[in-house]
């Protein structure tokens, strides 16, 4: 269920999946482990039974749930998550509706948006695949082709988001979309959800991670509908 929060006459739409111990992960990657490092009961003695707190411990690979890829994810000499600016993760956004398309090519974008409408923006690719979250079908997903990745570079896009677990064809181990986009400092957000709520709307996209030295990191992605 999509929740809309009214804020200064603008709607906020949550585009993130919840992180729990049952989320889909890449083959060979364990899902997160979330548990108390200190329970409420264990903490009482510290506060003379006047208060209690839980300290939660999370163990996980950082490329899980709705997450942002930095250039360092693909290229060891490029910037990691800690080096990204806020301006790169808060952008005017636009949705490209490609539902029903398996191999997403430039012709699925051309004709819908002029060059000036994509430049400096976050382009969110709406496949509708988030409906399979938690199901086996989620791993057999649409993907961005090499040609589209090159086209998005030419259009001057700043960030590309998609509602699948991988922007690339999982069978292509050269990972052309990751390679082309990240080489050109175009950030990637995967595992988005609820993109369909933004079709045809003007919005600002937020995908701000913690300031941490990591190749990728989960974000609380959301859109402010203007």
> What SS3 state is found at 58?
strand
Which has the closest alpha carbon to 89: 223, 225, 180? 223
Q: Is 216 found in the same domain as 159? A: yes
Q: For residue 178, give the CATH number of its domain.
A: 3.50.30.50
Q: Is 35 found in the same domain as 10? A: no
Q: Is 133 found in the same domain as 101? A: yes
Q: Is 87 found in the same domain as 30? A: no
Q: Which residues is 171 bridged to in the sheet?
A: none
Q: Is 66 found in the same domain as 121? A: yes
Q: Is 173 found in the same domain as 124? A: yes
- Number of structural domains (the chain) is 2
Q: Is 86 found in the same domain as 189? A: yes
Task: Please give the pLDDT value at position 209.
Answer: 98
Domain that holds residue 32: 26-60
Q: Is 41 found in the same domain as 143? A: no
Q: Is 123 found in the same domain as 197? A: yes
pLDDT in tens, the chain (226 residues): 455 555 556 799 999 999 999 999 999 999 999 999 999 999 999 999 999 999 999 999 999 999 999 999 999 999 999 999 999 999 999 999 999 999 999 998 876 555 558 999 999 999 999 999 999 999 999 999 999 999 999 999 999 999 999 999 999 999 999 999 999 999 999 999 999 999 999 999 999 999 999 999 999 999 999 9
């Amino acid at each position: 269920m999509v929740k809309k929060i009214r804020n200064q006459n603008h709607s906020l739409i949550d585009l993130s999946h919840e992180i729990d111990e049952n989320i889909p992960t890449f083959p060979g990657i364990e899902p997160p482990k979330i548990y108390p490092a200190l329970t409420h009961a264990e903490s009482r003695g510290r506060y003379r039974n006047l208060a209690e707190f839980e300290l939660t411990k999370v163990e996980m690979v950082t490329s899980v749930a709705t997450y942002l890829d930095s250039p360092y994810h693909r290229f060891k000499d490029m910037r990691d998550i800690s080096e990204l600016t806020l301006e790169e993760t808060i952008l005017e956004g636009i949705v490209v509706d490609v539902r029903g398309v398996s191999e997403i090519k430039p012709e699925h974008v051309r004709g819908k948006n002029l060059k000036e409408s994509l430049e400096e923006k976050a382009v969110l690719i709406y496949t509708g695949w988030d409906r399979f979250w938690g199901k086996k079908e989620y791993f057999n997903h649409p993907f961005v082709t090499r040609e589209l990745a090159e086209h998005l570079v030419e259009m001057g896009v700043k960030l590309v988001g998609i509602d699948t677990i991988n922007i690339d064809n999982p069978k292509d181990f050269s990972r052309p979309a990751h390679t082309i986009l990240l080489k050109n400092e175009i950030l990637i957000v995967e595992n988005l959800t609820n993109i369909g709520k933004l079709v045809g709307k003007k919005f600002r996209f937020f995908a701000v991670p913690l300031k941490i030295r990591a190749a990728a990191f989960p974000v609380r992605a959301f859109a402010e509908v203007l």
